[in-house]
Amino acid sequence: MRVLALAGRRLLSSVPTLLLILVGIFLLLQLAPGDAVDALIAQTGGGADAASAAAMRAEMGLDLSVPAQLANYMWRLVRLDLGFSSIYGKPVSTVIFERLPATLLLMLAALSFAFFFGLVLGVLAARRVNGWPDTLISTLGLIFYATPSFWFGLMAIVLFSVHLQWLPAGGFEEIGSGFTGLRRTLDIATHLVLPTLTLGLIFLAIYLRIMRASMLEVLSLDFVRTARAKGLDETRVVVRHVLRNALLPMVTLIGLQAGTMLGGSVVVESVFSLPGLGRLAYESVVQRDLNTLLGIVFVSALLVICVNFVVDLLYARLDPRITP
């Protein structure tokens, strides 16, 4: 119950931020020349007559003034109506919910991969600080961090799909295969291996650096010396005493990066032809589909707020001195 009340309070306090973001994006997109009808005509290759273009503008409400359009949008949002997507010809909520599973799956897989291996490699590096494992791990981390993800993705496709033919080169699942149950899960998993690695490696590098630094810091604290003096073996010291305290900055990072991952996957989604929110957002900007873009911003902002809420709860679990 207390958690629910807390969640409600959190959501309320983020309403002003959400409003600011939505209005800001709405106004920013007004600065871009051209509207959804121009984008549609660009796609058809011309030859449209002026009357039908005007009719379409009226149908989409694009002939109204900017404040009137904004007011219309906000009024719909209050009634939890995200509007109609001009590109997809469906309600925005449907369009977004179709894309959400792929995005969340990719984000969760990449985050868990980065978090787990970042943690393990960070601990290993800290345990052998300045030794060869540390140098090797740190160098690898630097390489992962410095490599652009589109290049990483393309090279992974060239190696694993074109030359070795181990994994599919793109897509979310085998098209028209009719797989169900476990077979389908496996199929989707094999399609997600390369995108997860590509998206996860950059974040892995960050987690690794943070974990290493944080471990080194905690290792030098007094209570670690006390634990050792008690005669605890090294594994127990590291796992029970050091790791738990060193995890705090990592958890903070997850909260921060959940947002980045949602937006940052445009590149990975395009390279691997995945139907995610990042590509949808990019297309909405190019097509001037304001409703869809604002809908995505709204949903992503909600997701980030949720993730940060969970992170706050985790803090309290890891460190009893903090109360959410």
When the beta carbons of 40 and 210 are compared against other proteins, the nearer one is 40
Alpha helices of 14-91 — where are they, by DSSP H?
15-31, 36-44, 50-60, 66-78
**One residue of 35, 214, 241, 307 binding other proteins per CB under 8 A:** 35
Farthest CA pair distance, the chain: 86
**Smallest distance, other proteins to C-beta of residue 17, A:** 29
- Cβ(39)–Cβ(283) below 8 Å: no
Q: Which two tokens stand for residue 255?
A: 């909260």
- Sites for other proteins among residues 50-89 (CB under 8 A): 50, 52-53, 87-89
- Cβ(11)–Cβ(302) below 8 Å: no
Residue 208 host element (H or E):
helix 181-219
DSSP string, 153-181: HHHHIIIIIIIS--S-SS-SS-TT----H
Count of residues of this chain found to bind other proteins when the rule CB under 8 A is applied: 52
When the beta carbons of 131 and 148 are compared against other proteins, the nearer one is 148
Distance CA 223, CA 168 (A): 50
- Sites for other proteins among residues 241-300 (CB under 8 A): 270-273, 275, 279-280, 283, 286-288
**One residue of 26, 82, 83, 99 binding other proteins per CB under 8 A:** 99
**One residue of 95, 110, 205, 206 binding other proteins per CB under 8 A:** 95
Tell whether residue 101 is a contact of other proteins (CB under 8 A): no
Distance CA 221, CA 218 (A): 5
Tell whether residue 172 is a contact of other proteins (CB under 8 A): yes
Q: Please give the residue ranges that form the binding site for other proteins (CB under 8 A).
A: 32-36, 38-50, 52-53, 87-89, 95, 98-99, 150, 153-154, 157-158, 161-162, 165, 168-172, 175-176, 270-273, 275, 279-280, 283, 286-288
